[in-house]
């Protein structure tokens, strides 16, 4: 048996090698010697440019939050633990290939929520969901944080819905900040939606087969659009801006209160507006603008201007202690599930009276779940159960559902 020698040879040790070692073994050991490591604080500037500082804010969300973020934000994942004690923050690279998120935080300041988004029986997934807790901190006294929730239902392709997911909350934030807190919600939302449409139309002009998933030539991208239902939750109000046939409802004391009105071509006021603009509503598998689009308002759809507009309808609702939850969803849910039924299902889940729901719905079509994100088990179960109910009732569209728990009066 070969003799094994052990030991650490200092760099300054000039003593001869042990007799058991060959010359090659000595050289190999010297290459493997431990070297001293010197830690140097990086300079404040590098090549004359000040190094950016990492900012960690003291406000954290109550749970795991998966948001849409920029490429820079997608480089980090923040994990916050030890609730009730000083938070421990672990920064780690995101390994998931998903385009969604990353910011996992904890705090009692943010409402609990959950959402589910499935492709359903459609060939492609064209829905998008954006959730941004504490996306804006108002400076006024006792104004608290503002929380943003949005559901976008694309048609023609997914890229307009994706652009809304990436940008609309930023535009809303800019408009509210520029408004200096005057609470002119209708004006801020209207400007945000119009700016969003201008960005989409400008972006469509640059779309080519190489950059657009719909593989359309540039002129054909004018036929792509998206609905948008957005809710901004403040400590005392719920502001909803709706453009299209996605919908928001408030569950209060077990009853459903609509916070938006579907903008369909056969709605009397919408029908009059379209006809006064010189357009027509043709019944082809339901009422459609020019026999094509099944909604009268949307972001995009430049080829149907001026009949299809992006002006949102805004409602402002005061919060009460009887509020249970807020539900936002695409028409894939509302086509087959009533407001009252959705409210009942969500309320049952929030009270813990519904059995736990697995993240993968039973009998899910081949295009299975696209996203299931939760910060609260009750909200997660409610969103998933509503999605499963829509599929069980043979919804043929993409289905996206967001459930926000309002019982903590956040």
pLDDT of residue 343: 97
* Cα dihedral across residues 58, 59, 64, 70: positive or negative: negative
pLDDT of residue 272: 97
Per DSSP (E only), the strands in 77-211 are 77-81, 88-92, 113-118, 127-137, 145-155
Q: Which of 12-21, 48-57, 173-182, 252-261 is the most confident on average?
A: 252-261
Share of the chain above pLDDT 70, in %: 61
pLDDT of residue 215: 56
Q: What residues pair up with 81 in beta bridges, in sequence order? A: 88
pLDDT confidence bin for 33, thresholds 50/70/90: low
pLDDT of residue 204: 77
- Is the pLDDT at 233 greater than 90? The verdict is yes
The mean pLDDT of 22-47, rounded to a whole number, is 50
- Is the pLDDT at 288 greater than 90? The verdict is yes
Top pLDDT among 309 and 11 is at: 309
What is the model's pTM? 0.71
**What span, in angstroms and rounded, lies between the C-alpha atoms of 325 and 257?**
11
Top pLDDT among 84 and 226 is at: 226
The mean pLDDT of 162-166, rounded to a whole number, is 95
**Interior angle at CA 48, CA 45 and CA 49, nearest 5:** 65
> Among candidates 177, 69, 89, 67, which has minimal Cα distance to 133?
67
**What span, in angstroms and rounded, lies between the C-alpha atoms of 288 and 375?**
38
3-class SS of residue 331: helix
Q: Which of 114-118, 179-183, 203-207 is the most confident on average?
A: 114-118
Question: How confident is the model over 317-362, as pLDDT tens digits?
Answer: 999 999 999 999 999 999 999 999 999 999 999 988 766 665 444 3
The average confidence (pLDDT) of the chain is: 74
Joined together, the tokens standing for residue 162 give 């994706």
Task: Give CATH superfamily name and number for 73-405.
Answer: PPM-type phosphatase domain (3.60.40.10)
- For the chain, the first-to-last Cα distance in angstroms comes to 73
Share of the chain above pLDDT 90, in %: 52
DSSP state of 218: G
**What span, in angstroms and rounded, lies between the C-alpha atoms of 246 and 262?**
7
Contact 323, 317 (CB under 8 A): no
Maximum distance among all Cα pairs of the chain, rounded to whole angstroms:
102
The mean pLDDT of 264-287, rounded to a whole number, is 95
Question: How confident is the model over 371-391, as pLDDT tens digits?
Answer: 445 457 889 999 999 999 999
Question: How confident is the model over 79-136, as pLDDT tens digits?
Answer: 233 333 333 222 222 222 223 322 333 334 678 999 999 999 888 899 999 999 999 8
pLDDT of residue 86: 34
Top pLDDT among 285 and 46 is at: 285
Q: Where are the domains of the chain?
A: 73-405
Contacts of residue 340, defined as CB under 8 A and 6 or more positions apart, other chains included, come to: 255, 256
**Interior angle at CA 185, CA 317 and CA 327, nearest 5:** 45
Contacts of residue 196, defined as CB under 8 A and 6 or more positions apart, other chains included, come to: 163, 164, 167, 168, 171, 228, 299, 310
């Amino acid at each position: 048996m070969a003799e094994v020698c052990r030991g650490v040879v200092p760099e300054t040790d000039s003593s001869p090698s042990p007799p058991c070692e060959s010359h090659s073994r000595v050289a190999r050991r010297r290459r493997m010697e431990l070297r001293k490591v010197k830690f140097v604080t990086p300079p404040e500037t590098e090549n004359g440019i000040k190094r950016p500082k990492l900012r960690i804010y003291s406000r954290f969300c109550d749970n795991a939050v998966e948001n849409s973020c920029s490429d820079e934000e997608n480089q980090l994942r923040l994990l916050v633990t030890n609730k009730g004690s000083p938070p421990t923050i672990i920064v780690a690279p995101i390994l998931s290939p998903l385009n969604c998120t990353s910011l996992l935080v904890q705090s009692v300041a943010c409402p609990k929520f959950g959402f589910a988004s499935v492709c359903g029986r459609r060939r492609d997934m064209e829905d998008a969901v954006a959730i941004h807790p504490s996306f804006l901190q108002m400076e006024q006294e006792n104004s608290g944080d503002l929380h943003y929730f949005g559901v976008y239902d694309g048609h023609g392709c997914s890229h307009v819905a994706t652009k809304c997911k990436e940008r609309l909350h930023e535009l809303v934030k800019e408009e509210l900040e520029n408004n200096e807190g005057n609470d002119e919600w209708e004006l801020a939302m209207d400007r945000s939606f119009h700016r969003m449409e201008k960005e989409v139309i400008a972006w469509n002009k640059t779309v080519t087969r190489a950059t657009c998933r719909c593989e359309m030539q540039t002129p054909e991208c004018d036929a792509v659009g998206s609905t948008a239902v957005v809710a901004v939750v403040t400590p005392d109000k719920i502001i909803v801006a709706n453009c299209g046939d996605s919908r928001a409802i408030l569950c209060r004391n077990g009853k459903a209160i609509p916070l938006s009105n579907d903008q369909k071509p056969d709605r009397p006021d919408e029908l009059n507006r379209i006809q006064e603009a010189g357009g027509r509503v043709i019944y082809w598998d339901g009422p459609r603008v020019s026999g094509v689009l099944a909604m009268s308002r949307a972001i995009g759809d430049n080829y149907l201007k001026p009949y299809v507009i992006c002006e949102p309808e805004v409602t402002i609702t005061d919060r009460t202690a009887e509020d249970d939850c807020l539900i936002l969803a695409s028409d894939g849910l509302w086509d087959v599930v009533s407001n009252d039924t959705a409210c009942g299902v969500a309320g049952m889940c929030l009270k813990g009276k519904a059995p736990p729901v697995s993240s993968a719905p039973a009998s899910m079509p081949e295009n299975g779940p696209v996203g299931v994100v939760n910060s609260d088990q009750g909200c997660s179960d409610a969103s998933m159960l509503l999605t499963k109910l829509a599929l069980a009732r043979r919804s043929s569209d993409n289905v996206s559902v967001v459930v926000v728990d309002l019982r903590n009066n956040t």
